[in-house]
Structure 1
């Protein structure tokens, strides 16, 4: 952060900041509601499962079964505690993300330039804002150069408005974005007192867009809830018809309703997404919407800017080409007196207070090589901002003696087009430019004008320019970028480079970075003439998109989306904003990225390391895979619970109520943490980043996957009911039969959760994926099971009895057969794929 600040701008001191804050408060919007712990708890108590538990508890109290009622109340506390723990973790994770999303602001305090969190801006502060930044308070400009803002957020007008301290329109407003230049403004209003605050606009109040997976899960849960209601009514009616006991029939219906309700699924989804976003935050990846984690894993195309994304954005000045001398000088010879004109005009064509890396370099080279330093003796009095396709910019300076300097720089093609050059000279300069471009250098042309008078042309291209030479920068690819792109290609993801740079420079840097297919290229001016079909075809086939302006970048992203691609757009500049906003996943660079890029993006990489995007894609795939595992586990284990509760009743077996509400709620207490805590912690399978991206429109479970989960559930049901019949035929009473059935289902549940850790690799292979939560949860489950069977008060309460060694052998054998057959299925699947 390096700025040249005028001496008269001191800013607030510490005591003035304290006084201002005491009077005006912090720069924050009020009125955005955040859920408190009590509200979270009330929300949990409204859940259908808790309502069912309350209903059963009341029935037990009314019938005098106080032990069962007490257990139900304890279950209510346990379920609420687990849900509260999960919701609170999600809430804290999202709050941490929100805090990190707050932008930093640059202010002058005690004559020093410092960065502060935006909410700490005080009335009276001197704020510095520049191209690409969002203005975070209302104020009045006290110093500026080439400064324009986009006020569309307030006025709806998308064209930039030029402002300066010397004009009538010298106010800036919070929520607007700087299009060009730099300004220092004195803060007059903050928080709700700003114009945007009065309008009542708040980003935090905008509702998140519901993802396709969320919609699918909601639809699935609603369907299961409807099935639960139908089965509840059927069981109540059937039971009452046979027993004429309303309370007993109601309890039977409620027990079955509890077994049908898949309340773990939405809880699991919320937990997985929020904690996934929180874990990525710790890796340096800030996601603005937690549901976006799911989309990350579906990315099929990465569109990336070049400068600052693939490259370091260091912009080292490597060569100077002096046109009158027709000679190239390397960086060791910049102090040659013959380069004074070229270096001087390259600097004068830059901003007086530079913020662009190239302009900072030009100022530094001028300072080190030119004596005397004339920057304080000349004042910028007229300027033409960067414009044109390709772009250029022109600055007019004047000293006290009315001596003028008129300097221009820009894309070589733009400067050549406005200079007095013969065809032969033009050809020679273009040959030099192409030579530098093939080696990956960034080249700018520099020109001067001797225009007299004050009747300046409307457009800078109308000046009569003299070509001076070329300034040649090198922006090297980031370290390790080749490995990053190798991982991206291994994951079946395509890469497109969309940049405003020259085709030769782009091709050279892209090749150095390990991007394949760099021969296929197209320029922005060509794209403007394409039909929609031609644009879609070009977007699909081409890899390099050069000399791209914002509208062209946006059109390529939209074309890829129309083709059905899931697009991640990476960028850090102002001109990347529209494309970042339009992409499924806009990714901005957090360190060197402009505020407009970060505001438009859905994801920010804090340290500008492109490798973090690979980490994010891997996390998205891991989370989506684990959600599927959790949901398939829930479906599979609910089936035997539902059928074990209902079939003995409907088939008129000897013990129709083999499970009561206490048994079902115990199973629910085991299953809930398994799917929403244990599976969330499951590591990524080793082949996941070698698979192609999933199709975004696919349902979270296709027919084959759903069929396999249903078959798993039905086989477990068959095993559980087999144990039921074996126990009855052995002459066992209801308590012994219930103990065997209950134990078989518990053991099958444990084995199912282990088998379903992977639907491809064996259970033993999955043990290499360290997840200590499995051991903790299953160990606790077995301890509780043995306590229920062998500790007298508990066994009496659960109406079960202990099992002998032979009975345990039967239970364990059936549970293993009912679940571990799936390992054979996976073995056949693996061998079949190897043969292919």
Structure 2
């Protein structure tokens, strides 16, 4: 039975155009936000921007117009860079919205077509299925076992059954289909829907800060507080030395600027937004930023079988009829018993099939039947898929009053309620074992006879005759073996959670090289376990069969209780609770229901599990590169802070070696390095051979933080050594400042190169493909050359041209203050080689 059997043609293309012209698009329109104004207001609250503005005002008030103009220009430049980064991040997230736009099915020009939900028009014939979010208001004209959850409008969480014969035939935008299928004529779209009228927007998602974002913000706040305290101390010291309020305030602001690590939140936002954009280009939609953080920590992937491990390309492969007690191939010449089995299985399916097995049954029926009986029969009653294990029953009747009552489902479910002898039960069990051992998926088929309209409350109350078994073959995906190997190499365990039986799943698992396939447990057995025993069994088992929603959820929670980071794939309504509970819920873009997509935090557009390997690799890359960027920021900020503070605190000859213009110049050099170079770094070759990183409360462990602090202190020793060398040589303040600045810039360049990897040598990382490295470093060297040798710039920044010897000494000290870490990396590699 197909759409044409219902005589629904839908709108023509011209009618669609006219309806759209009259009623508009199916969008919930709300007051538009001005992101630019929001970004400007956010910038005005930034401590660095405020410090720059204060410093520039002081320069102007003391008559230093040039310095004031430079800082004002720098303020504009910093603000422009921030706005650009914010725009880039927002654009990446806006593109994600278009990819996650829900789709729906409508009948137009007599054919079923899939469109974006915003393209629906009033008058469309909308087809909605289990797991869909309803895209418009409408009136039901046909339904099968159709129920809908309207809690978004009513607040009631239970499902309401509706059909064209009941008083309530209305469906509403934003509500969720709990079961069955319906066709409805669209009566309202956009703001004219019930959802639109009460002003609820499905797009209004409250943005929550991620754990890592909270950690980074807390770190920056601590640095701001520290900066404020030290600012007051330095202001007091300068004031008591000079009794000049403005001059001492300016010098204190210099140190405050050096302390603020404003690049860190910018780097975080940039990395996460561009990371989600890169994932989107790979066909992976990340709905929540915290998912990007968690990807690199995933320790277990729980995957369903059908459509994820297999193709979800069901073909009828084997038939077993109880009457003859024989198994035959579906493409053999079929006898009457086999044809009758297929016919009964087809009637037990939905009239408009959307499940792959039901489509295969309808196709097989159509292929062998001389006369298509489907238009002659009308469904008069139905029982939805339910029970443990599940089954479903449909009742049809033609105009002559001839009735068909057909059921299909798990063979065990039908065997329990059919009139079978002990011998017949054993014959069926033997047939199931023979068929499932070859990797086929089986359904039992039964029929019943019932007169009258006082139908039993439960389908299990019918007196069924067991007809036989239909078996389907769903081949494994071609790349699934290599995908499993990639997961195992990355230290990630894989578990299969399926509604199928154990023998079928075991056969497929062995075919694809699945580890420990013999360790399996059923959903029913799992429900009897609790506490430590449950956790132990879930940890040991790799295959979970005959699973239902409660059992799936129990597995996920048990794994989480043992501190595993769990990723879970799913596509149906029944998967939604487990997807929501998992650390990383993964929905399928093609066959996934809207409910599954809403519950998930990540969507694979092509339903390809290999993309999950790419996603985990990208998650690890983003996290590692963000760490490199922030370690670089910490390492380079320490020498800036100490080079400003120590000469002043110790009363050295030139106590205020740097002014705000020098600090902001360093900030402008460092910003692109951390946000642009490190974000663009490729994944290191050993990234997917490492175990998942543990999820801890702290972004850095003490070892990593100590590395950055030591790097910063040794760079400080380098700059202060140059400082003392210049004084010992009786150089003037301008030459001393220039040599210290040159040393710091040299150390900055070498640090950028050395910290591209905390394991591999600089000679290895120089071969990494990152075009931005030579570009940014080239710009930095060019800028330094201009500052040294272009007289107006030298005078403005109070620099002085250096001799070749002075430049060579400064660069050498900067080089040595960083390059020592290459020896640490060499010892790491040597130690690891000796271990193996």
User: 1:290 — aligned with what?
Assistant: 289
Mean Cα deviation higher: 800-809 or 449-458: 449-458
For residues 508-537 of structure 1, the C-alpha deviation after alignment (integer angstroms, 9 at most, x for no partner) is 222223221111111111122222332222
User: 1:254 — aligned with what?
Assistant: 253
Mean Cα deviation higher: 32-41 or 467-476: 32-41
Inter-partner Cα distance in structure 2 for 1:334 and 1:159: 48
Deviation at 1:160, TM superposition (A): 3.0
Inter-partner Cα distance in structure 1 for 2:759 and 2:330: 58
Deviation at 1:169, TM superposition (A): 2.1
Give yes or no for contact 2:162–2:169 (8 Å, CA) kept in 1.
yes
Inter-partner Cα distance in structure 2 for 1:11 and 1:296: 44
- Secondary structure at 2:551's aligned position in 1? helix
User: 2:638 — aligned with what?
Assistant: 639
Mean Cα deviation higher: 690-699 or 328-337: 328-337
Deviation at 1:225, TM superposition (A): 0.7
Give yes or no for contact 2:322–2:424 (8 Å, CA) kept in 1.
no
Deviation at 1:662, TM superposition (A): 0.9
Give the alignment of 1:494-573 within 5 angstroms: 494-573=493-572
**In the alignment, does 2:611 pair up with 1:595?**
no
Give the alignment of 1:552-701 within 5 angstroms: 552-701=551-700
Mean Cα deviation higher: 192-201 or 178-187: 192-201
For residues 42-101 of structure 1, the C-alpha deviation after alignment (integer angstroms, 9 at most, x for no partner) is 422432111111111111111111111111111112211211111111010000001111
Deviation at 1:545, TM superposition (A): 1.0
Deviation at 1:132, TM superposition (A): 1.8
- Secondary structure at 1:205's aligned position in 2? coil
CA RMSD of aligned residues (A): 1.5
- Secondary structure at 1:800's aligned position in 2? coil
Deviation at 1:197, TM superposition (A): 3.1
Give yes or no for contact 1:273–1:291 (8 Å, CA) kept in 2.
no
User: 1:57 — aligned with what?
Assistant: 56
- Secondary structure at 2:645's aligned position in 1? helix
- Secondary structure at 2:320's aligned position in 1? strand
Inter-partner Cα distance in structure 2 for 1:209 and 1:39: 17
Give yes or no for contact 1:106–1:128 (8 Å, CA) kept in 2.
yes
Give the alignment of 1:262-341 within 5 angstroms: 262-333=261-332, 335-341=334-340
- Secondary structure at 1:447's aligned position in 2? strand
Give yes or no for contact 2:10–2:108 (8 Å, CA) kept in 1.
yes
Inter-partner Cα distance in structure 1 for 2:30 and 2:729: 69
Deviation at 1:475, TM superposition (A): 0.9
Deviation at 1:256, TM superposition (A): 0.5
Deviation at 1:453, TM superposition (A): 2.5
Deviation at 1:698, TM superposition (A): 4.3
Give the alignment of 1:817-836 within 5 angstroms: 817-836=816-835
User: 1:480 — aligned with what?
Assistant: 479
Uncovered stretches (5+) of structure 1, i.e. residues with no partner: none
- Secondary structure at 2:469's aligned position in 1? strand
- Secondary structure at 2:495's aligned position in 1? strand
Give yes or no for contact 2:125–2:183 (8 Å, CA) kept in 1.
yes
**In the alignment, does 2:421 pair up with 1:422?**
yes
Give yes or no for contact 1:32–1:205 (8 Å, CA) kept in 2.
no
Inter-partner Cα distance in structure 1 for 2:198 and 2:767: 56
Distance 1:269 1:823, change over 3 A: same
Deviation at 1:35, TM superposition (A): 4.4
**In the alignment, does 2:225 pair up with 1:235?**
no
- Secondary structure at 2:777's aligned position in 1? helix
Inter-partner Cα distance in structure 1 for 2:696 and 2:196: 39
| TM-score, scaled to structure 1 | 0.98
User: 2:771 — aligned with what?
Assistant: 772
**In the alignment, does 2:365 pair up with 1:362?**
no
Distance 1:539 1:195, change over 3 A: farther
Give the alignment of 1:392-431 within 5 angstroms: 392-431=391-430
**In the alignment, does 2:460 pair up with 1:461?**
yes
Deviation at 1:334, TM superposition (A): 5.1
User: 1:451 — aligned with what?
Assistant: 450
Inter-partner Cα distance in structure 2 for 1:828 and 1:662: 41
Give yes or no for contact 1:150–1:179 (8 Å, CA) kept in 2.
yes
Inter-partner Cα distance in structure 2 for 1:78 and 1:464: 81
Inter-partner Cα distance in structure 2 for 1:521 and 1:489: 19
Give yes or no for contact 1:572–1:594 (8 Å, CA) kept in 2.
yes
Distance 1:453 1:677, change over 3 A: same
Mean Cα deviation higher: 203-212 or 297-306: 203-212
Inter-partner Cα distance in structure 2 for 1:161 and 1:535: 35
Give yes or no for contact 2:325–2:427 (8 Å, CA) kept in 1.
no
For residues 463-484 of structure 1, the C-alpha deviation after alignment (integer angstroms, 9 at most, x for no partner) is 1111111100011111110110
| TM-score, scaled to structure 2 | 0.98
Mean Cα deviation higher: 447-456 or 745-754: 447-456
Inter-partner Cα distance in structure 1 for 2:703 and 2:34: 40
Deviation at 1:34, TM superposition (A): 4.1
User: 2:726 — aligned with what?
Assistant: 727
User: 2:93 — aligned with what?
Assistant: 94
Distance 1:8 1:386, change over 3 A: same
Give yes or no for contact 2:284–2:604 (8 Å, CA) kept in 1.
yes
Mean Cα deviation higher: 808-817 or 353-362: 808-817
User: 2:383 — aligned with what?
Assistant: 384
- Secondary structure at 2:648's aligned position in 1? helix
Matched pairs, number: 835
User: 2:741 — aligned with what?
Assistant: 742
Give yes or no for contact 1:259–1:664 (8 Å, CA) kept in 2.
yes
User: 2:125 — aligned with what?
Assistant: 126
For residues 5-42 of structure 1, the C-alpha deviation after alignment (integer angstroms, 9 at most, x for no partner) is 44542323344434433443322223265442343234
User: 1:185 — aligned with what?
Assistant: 184
Distance 1:768 1:645, change over 3 A: same
Give yes or no for contact 2:210–2:289 (8 Å, CA) kept in 1.
no
Deviation at 1:335, TM superposition (A): 4.1
Deviation at 1:763, TM superposition (A): 1.1
Give the alignment of 1:26-175 within 5 angstroms: 26-31=25-30, 34-175=33-174
- Secondary structure at 2:331's aligned position in 1? helix
Inter-partner Cα distance in structure 2 for 1:176 and 1:310: 31
Give yes or no for contact 1:3–1:355 (8 Å, CA) kept in 2.
no
Give yes or no for contact 1:437–1:505 (8 Å, CA) kept in 2.
yes
Give yes or no for contact 2:301–2:568 (8 Å, CA) kept in 1.
yes
Deviation at 1:594, TM superposition (A): 1.8
**In the alignment, does 2:344 pair up with 1:345?**
yes
Give yes or no for contact 2:5–2:375 (8 Å, CA) kept in 1.
no
For residues 618-649 of structure 1, the C-alpha deviation after alignment (integer angstroms, 9 at most, x for no partner) is 00000000111011000000000001111111
Uncovered stretches (5+) of structure 2, i.e. residues with no partner: none
Distance 1:32 1:363, change over 3 A: farther
Mean Cα deviation higher: 16-25 or 492-501: 16-25
Deviation at 1:317, TM superposition (A): 0.8
Mean Cα deviation higher: 128-137 or 773-782: 128-137
Give yes or no for contact 2:327–2:431 (8 Å, CA) kept in 1.
no
Mean Cα deviation higher: 285-294 or 753-762: 285-294
Deviation at 1:813, TM superposition (A): 1.4
Distance 1:495 1:11, change over 3 A: same
Inter-partner Cα distance in structure 2 for 1:151 and 1:522: 36
Deviation at 1:243, TM superposition (A): 1.1
Inter-partner Cα distance in structure 1 for 2:214 and 2:663: 28
- Secondary structure at 2:196's aligned position in 1? helix
Mean Cα deviation higher: 159-168 or 383-392: 159-168
Distance 1:153 1:529, change over 3 A: farther
Inter-partner Cα distance in structure 2 for 1:786 and 1:190: 63
Mean Cα deviation higher: 153-162 or 219-228: 153-162
Deviation at 1:686, TM superposition (A): 0.6
